[in-house]
Structure 1
Amino acid sequence: MGPIRVLLADDHPVVRDGFQRILESDERIQIIASASSGHEAFEQFRAVKPDIVVLDLTMPSQEGAPDNSSISGGMEAIRRILAHDSRAKVLVLSSCETKPYPSQVIGAGVKGYLTKRCAPAELIDAVVRVNLGERYFSPSIQDQLDDSAGDSSPVNQLSSRELQIFVMLASGHSVSQIAEEVFLSPKTVHAHRSNIKRKLNLKANAEIVHMAMRHGLIDP
């Protein structure tokens, strides 16, 4: 059996190179491709067919897209990869540790979720275990999942697609920008925005920003 073939996606080259060195310090793992945006991650996935995708959430949807701190790129990559191959093994490696991100992307079908504060040995162990068909979550993420049943935050009512668009709206993206980045029609984005406002009982766009700030989904 050959090494575990990994696609590594992160928009910061220094961070990506650091994680590559960690992973390839173990002879069982080989980085076969890398990506710096959600679109590139999906295209590389189709091209190289890795055993595992290790990706960050906070990267742009496409090269040159505005607001590189947005989660839109990582979430879009997850959505497109799993729609293309429901058996894909995706391991999130991200600094996004706050609710509702972990439960949302895990619900979307990822096999594991690590924080970027994890030790090198934990990262390697997670890749090996996910490759074997197991699921792996950092202890802090697992604690959140265990507590999620009693969480009444209104943001938890949103689907993963609605959460993605909610954060993009709160970050100042226009409907046309969102439509282009997430490969939807403006009409569909308008419909999602209406559903988001209805679910969260919001009237004005400014209320979207304030709610996102209150829940730590965007910086003040």
Structure 2
Amino acid sequence: MKAPIKILLVDDHAIVRAGFRMLLSTEDSIEVIAEAERGEEVWQLYLEYHPDVVVMDLSMPGMGGIETIRRICIKDNSAKILAFSVHDEIVYVNRAIAAGAKGYICKKSAPSILVQAIQKIAMGGIYIETEFLENSSGQSNETHYKTIIEAFSTREFDIFLLLARGFTSHKISDELCLSYKTVANYGTQIRSKLKVSSVAELAHIALVSGVMKN
């Protein structure tokens, strides 16, 4: 049997953690192995328990969720973090993804969405709730991204999609039969054109632009 996905659950309300721990306990594929109520506790628990996915509330006293995400990702750029928040404004989604989160869902979402998001992120994917993609699709910023993407060369577009899907430069090199250096140069060029620095941001752009589906 495949080992369950190990979860570090971060929320400042004990009753909220208890509720989501109980919810996730109904899934054989997921196991909550540790909990934290403040961002300041998270890194030590991360090192101790090595979770597959961190489910992170954004609104906490002290060091908030966004800063906690940023600090974890600086120390471990392969960290898989799902932002899980009461905030349903696109600005929070953008800030969480820019900090390094691999996904964003709202606490009012159906339980199945939380499970689906955890599973997708554990497999190396990106998960942003459809509601946020629909709400952001009409914004001028997204129109700007679409214009840039439409101007990509065929090779740039192919590499952009693979990067957005979580492929490493080495894997893309094998997939497209290109040298690693060529792929790395294309990746730098693509991030520069879109003015982003992380794979999660590329995935967010690919999703809101409609060129990639959740």
Q: TM-score, normalised by structure 2?
A: 0.62
For 1:33, the equivalent position in structure 2 comes to: 34
1:3-46 deviation digits (Å, cap 9, x = unpaired): 10000000011111111111121000000100001111222112
Name the aligned partner's letter for residue 110 of structure 2.
A
For 2:117, the equivalent position in structure 1 comes to: 126
Q: 1:13-162 residue pairs with structure 2 within 5 A?
A: 13-61=14-62, 72-150=63-141
For 2:178, the equivalent position in structure 1 comes to: none
* Distance (whole Å) between structure 2 residues aligned to residue 145 and residue 40 of structure 1: 33
Q: Secondary structure at the match of 1:45?
A: helix
- Matched length: 141
1:111 and 1:130 in contact (8 A); partners too: yes
Q: Secondary structure at the match of 2:64?
A: helix
For 2:11, the equivalent position in structure 1 comes to: 10
* Distance (whole Å) between structure 2 residues aligned to residue 124 and residue 51 of structure 1: 14
Q: Secondary structure at the match of 1:114?
A: strand
For 1:165, the equivalent position in structure 2 comes to: none
1:60 and 1:74 in contact (8 A); partners too: no
Name the aligned partner's letter for residue 48 of structure 2.
A
Name the aligned partner's letter for residue 113 of structure 1.
Y
Displacement of 1:146: 2.7
Q: Secondary structure at the match of 2:84?
A: strand
1:113 and 1:136 in contact (8 A); partners too: yes
Name the aligned partner's letter for residue 83 of structure 1.
I
- CA RMSD, 1 decimal: 1.5
1:163-218 deviation digits (Å, cap 9, x = unpaired): xxxxxxxxxxxxxxxxxxxxxxxxxxxxxxxxxxxxxxxxxxxxxxxxxxxxxxxx
Q: TM-score, normalised by structure 1?
A: 0.61
Name the aligned partner's letter for residue 29 of structure 1.
I
* Distance (whole Å) between structure 1 residues aligned to residue 42 and residue 132 of structure 2: 24
* Distance (whole Å) between structure 1 residues aligned to residue 82 and residue 140 of structure 2: 23
* Distance (whole Å) between structure 2 residues aligned to residue 99 and residue 56 of structure 1: 16
Name the aligned partner's letter for residue 37 of structure 2.
S
| Percentage of identical aligned residues | 37
Displacement of 1:124: 0.8
Closer, same or farther in 2 for the Cα pair 1:19/1:76, shift >3 Å? same
* Distance (whole Å) between structure 1 residues aligned to residue 52 and residue 141 of structure 2: 35
1:93 and 1:115 in contact (8 A); partners too: yes
Q: Secondary structure at the match of 1:86?
A: coil
Deviation beyond 6 Å, 4+ runs, structure 1 = none
1:73-98 deviation digits (Å, cap 9, x = unpaired): 11121011101100000001100112
* Distance (whole Å) between structure 2 residues aligned to residue 118 and residue 147 of structure 1: 22
Q: Secondary structure at the match of 2:21?
A: helix
For 1:173, the equivalent position in structure 2 comes to: none
Displacement of 1:143: 2.3
Closer, same or farther in 2 for the Cα pair 1:60/1:2, shift >3 Å? same
For 1:199, the equivalent position in structure 2 comes to: none
1:89-129 deviation digits (Å, cap 9, x = unpaired): 00011001124111111122211101001111111111111
